[in-house]
Amino acid sequence: MTASTRETQIVADPDVPLVRITREFDAPPSKVFRAHTDPDLLVQWLGPRGLEMRIDHYDCRPGGSYRYVHSDANGEYGFRGCFHEVRPDELIVQTFTFEGVPDGVALEKLVLEDLGDGRTRLTVTSLVDSFADRDAFLASGMETGVVQGYERLDEVLAR
Amino acid sequence: MAADPLSRVFSALADPTRRDIVARLAVGDATVGELAAPYDVTVQAVSKHLRVLEDAGLVSRSREAQRRPVHLEAEVFDLMTKWIERYRRQAEERYRRLDDVLRSMPEEDPPPQGGNPS
C-alpha cells in the first residue's frame, strides 16, 4: 500500500443529471484497463461485498455486450448493457441497465489517463435522463441509515 | 417545477447568483437589501432568487418584525453531503478491491494481440 493512492472523488453535477467519479491507481493504464475487461479479474472487485457475483457474458469490444448477476439470500439482481466504443488502455463507452428497472439506462464513459510512473487516473462519468433517475441511482444499494436520511431530507424540504 | 425535493435543490443551486447568495448566507443571516447590495440587479430580482431557494428548502425567512432576515438551512446541505458521501464510500470500497487485484496481476503484460495499435 503506497501513500500516493488518492481517495475516490465524486461530483453530482447541478446542471446535468450526471455523476462523475475520479480515482487514481498505482498501476499503469494497461493493467487498469485489463482489470475492467477480463471477466476473471472483474469479478474480483466489481461485486459488492456480501453478494455473489456471476458473469453471464462480458464481451468488451465495440458492439459487444455484457450481463452479470448479483445474488444474495433475497434473490438475484441482473445488470446488462452494451459496449459502444472500446480503446485499449484509454476509453470504454458503455450503457448500464438494472434489469429491475429496464426503462432506465445510464450512459457511462470510462477514461484512463496515464499519469506516468506507473500511475493511472480513472474518470467514470454516468449520465442518466433525469435528475430523479440520477438521485435514485445515487441512493441505490444504500443502507437503511441513508434511506432514513433521505426521508429526513424530505421532511426538512417539505417544511 | 420538478416534484421531487432533491431535484429542486440541485436545480436551485444550478444558478451562479443563487450559489453566491447561499455562500454569503453561510457566513450569517442577511436581509434581502443586504443580499442585493453587491449585485447590479434589483431587489425584486434577488427576491425572486430567494423564492427559488426557499421553495427548495435551502433558506427560510424569519418573521422578525421589519428586518425579516434570510437564514440558510444548513441541515439540508448536511443531509445532501451525507447522502453523496455514502455513495462515494461504496465506490471507494470497490476501488480498494481493484487496488488489490492490480497488485496481484503479473508485472509483465501478456504479448499484445495481433493488430493492437500502440
Per-residue pLDDT reduced to its tens digit, A2-45 = 444 578 888 877 778 888 889 999 999 999 999 999 998 888 88
Report how far residue B92's alpha carbon sits from residue B11's, in angstroms, rounded to the nearest whole number. 27
> Which tens digit of pLDDT belongs to each residue from B36-48?
988 888 888 999 9
ipTM entry = 0.76
CA end-to-end span of chain A: 47
Does the model's pTM come out above 0.90?
no
Is there a contact between A119 and A106 (Cβ–Cβ < 8 Å)? Answer: no
Using a CB-CB distance cutoff of 8 angstroms, which residues of chain B are in contact with residue A26? 99, 102
Report how far residue B48's alpha carbon sits from residue B59's, in angstroms, rounded to the nearest whole number. 13
B82 to A146: CB separation less than 8 angstroms, yes or no: yes
The residue of A32, A45, A148 whose CB has the most chain B CBs within 10 angstroms, and thus the best one to mutate to test that interface, is: A45
For chain A positions 132-151, those within 8 Å of chain B (CB to CB) are: 132, 135, 138-139, 141-143, 145-146, 149-150
